[in-house]
Structure 1
Amino acid sequence: MTIRESLKLHADAAVLLSFVLKKDKAFLFFYPEKTLTKNQKRKFLSLIKKRKAGWPVAYLTGEKEFYGLKFFVNRNVLIPRPETEGLVELLLSEIKDQRSLSILDLGTGSGCIIISLAKTLETNPSSGLWPPSPIGRRKLQTNPKRTELPSPHGRGDGGEGLEFFASDLSTNALSVAKKNARRHKVRIAFKHGDLLKPWKRQRFDIIVANLPYLAKLEDPSTKFEPKKALIAKRQGLALIEKLFKQITLSRPSATLPQRGRGKLKYIFLEMDPRQTAKIKNLAKKYLPNFKTKIFKDLTRRPRFAQITNPKLF
């Protein structure tokens, strides 16, 4: 079987063949008459069979690009979505010149959100690259103001600088996130546990979370992904409400201290567009002193909730 013949088998054949041959797509078109070895042919046809059965390309290649970075993925984690890049952009646009922040990513999965934040914030703002990825240069529909970002000098001792934390209920997902953190050479403190429970003695300025928010699976292509990373009870709102409760019940010395660094400033959430009113009502119920603002994604649908403590600004 030649490369030319291989490319006719499926719309995603070029991606899968590049993966098998460990060559870029340009190679395929420069050498269409190259013959695959027996092992290459066997592996390629196996991937094509799985792809025709509905397997996502990311699970077949073990890789997915997010915010200009390549992430390792497997069936233990949700495949990073392009729309979630808007959550990263929103957070970056809001922190502005704040040089001392602790950021916690709950339900981190592959780690794509917290790693993208850490990698972006480690870029020297004087270089003029903001955000550094091509996708990141696109603006949200709300058109947030472009601004320079703080230069991180995280000390890990509560002093001035940027510190990054992440947790997940799945130990298998945490293994993937840790692998990605090592790949991108960022320092992130990971813990295993349920939302804020592993962090009872820690304080954070920002909580970001892309928690399961679907009431049921609606897209057949998601059947290969972990259901626990997609579906939540109470019409998809169970975990978001649980998070709000945990924040409310946190002691003043923990998540909501009275003074000093670590007083919660922002909560950033991804949501189902149909949950807009319910998210606002839950935030008002559990965090009455906070202000909720909804942002649209690039398809102009409500997608992100920014919940802000106005007393700190």
Structure 2
Amino acid sequence: MIFFKKRYTLNDLIFKKDLNYRNNLYLFLANYFEKDIFYFFQNKEKKFFTIKEKIIINYKVKKIISNKDLNSICQKKRFYNLDLKLNKSVFIPQYDTEGLVEIILSNEKQKKGIEIGIGTGAIILSILKNSENTVDGIDINKKAIKLTNINAKRNNIDLKKETILKKNVFKIKNNLKYDFLVANPPYISYDDQKITKIVKKIQPKKALYAKEKGFYFYKYLIKNNEKFLKENGRMYFEIGLDQDKYLENYLADFKKLNFYFVKDLNNINRYLVIKKIKD
């Protein structure tokens, strides 16, 4: 019994460990326990951990080192000042997507929008938390619907005014039109050889790949803009690397749509904004 009651310090955990292990350990602890990383630097002699916790932490840190992705292990992530819970069946939001949220917040004021494919709720909840817009959301994955509701409660966001539904975007039949639509759909071609092993390993396949060289969802939503948008309504998309030229050529055939690209922090065309023009 005394063995199981014994508690271990951080120094015990890093004893004889290399620098890579130590760095990942600090990152894991800060993320998992939701404390500043310096808290652990300053409390190396404090007896935090049971033997069970010591074993679990060692396992998790080794897994982080092999996977090279902290969020897939911790099952939570910070996104646009939200604390998001994750799960293995839903795409882990990336920081590039915060740029998409910024664009929407700068353009849309007290409007009604819809997000296609809500995932963790990162985009829809960021908009609701930081504006007076209202946003409906749909996703074909019932686990994404559940997770978005969990994350809303986790961040004190009331979804009473919003409609969050499990629905296939290709089967939507209603007359409700929106001021804006946002989507960060699967956009990777099935034959793309540049996708790293770690991305393939930690992200759900359905959230990565799309038919027609990755353009399937963009083309459907653009082609069916009348189904979703009011007059002067906008569409906001995150796009993949080097997809801008194809989309520019595709959009040239839509005379009632104006569009422009916005660059990310790496000076790459990462976001596409489309505006529906009045007749």
The TM-score bracket by the shorter chain reads: 0.7 to 0.9
CA contact (8 A) 2:140 2:168 kept: yes
Unmatched 5+ residue regions in structure 2?
1-7
Which secondary structure does the structure 2 equivalent of 1:208 belong to? strand
Change (3 A) 1:89 1:21: closer
Change (3 A) 1:80 1:268: same
Which secondary structure does the structure 2 equivalent of 1:82 belong to? coil
Change (3 A) 1:50 1:307: same
Q: Which amino acid is 2:257 matched to? A: F
Which secondary structure does the structure 2 equivalent of 1:175 belong to? helix
Q: Distance in 1 between matches of 2:272 and 2:80?
A: 20
CA contact (8 A) 2:24 2:65 kept: no
Change (3 A) 1:73 1:55: farther
Q: Which amino acid is 1:88 matched to? A: V
Q: Which has the higher strand share?
A: 2
Change (3 A) 1:209 1:65: same
Asked if 1:111 is matched to 2:89, the reply is no
- Among 168, 171, 181, which residue is 2:139 paired with? 168
Q: Which amino acid is 1:170 matched to? A: N
Change (3 A) 1:4 1:234: same
CA contact (8 A) 2:179 2:232 kept: yes
Aligned pairs for 1:103-252 within 5 A: 103-121=113-131, 152=132, 162-184=133-155, 185-187=157-159, 188-195=162-169, 197-198=171-172, 200-215=174-189, 216=192, 218-222=195-199, 223-248=201-226, 250=227
Change (3 A) 1:201 1:113: same
Q: Distance in 2 between matches of 1:19 and 1:94?
A: 33
- Paired residues, number: 259
Which secondary structure does the structure 2 equivalent of 1:117 belong to? helix
1:19 shift after superposition: 5.1
Q: Which amino acid is 1:56 matched to? A: D
Aligned pairs for 1:1-313 within 5 A: 2-7=9-14, 8=17, 9-18=21-30, 23-35=35-47, 36-54=49-67, 56-95=69-108, 98-99=109-110, 101-121=111-131, 152=132, 162-184=133-155, 185-187=157-159, 188-195=162-169, 197-198=171-172, 200-215=174-189, 216=192, 218-222=195-199, 223-248=201-226, 250=227, 255-256=228-229, 262-263=230-231, 265-285=233-253, 287-311=254-278
Greater RCO structure (CA 8 Å; 6+ sep)? 1
CA contact (8 A) 1:168 1:191 kept: yes
| Aligned residues: CA RMSD | 2.2
TM-score by length of 1: 0.76
Change (3 A) 1:201 1:181: farther
Q: Which amino acid is 1:168 matched to? A: D
Unmatched 5+ residue regions in structure 1?
122-151, 153-161, 257-261
1:76 shift after superposition: 1.6
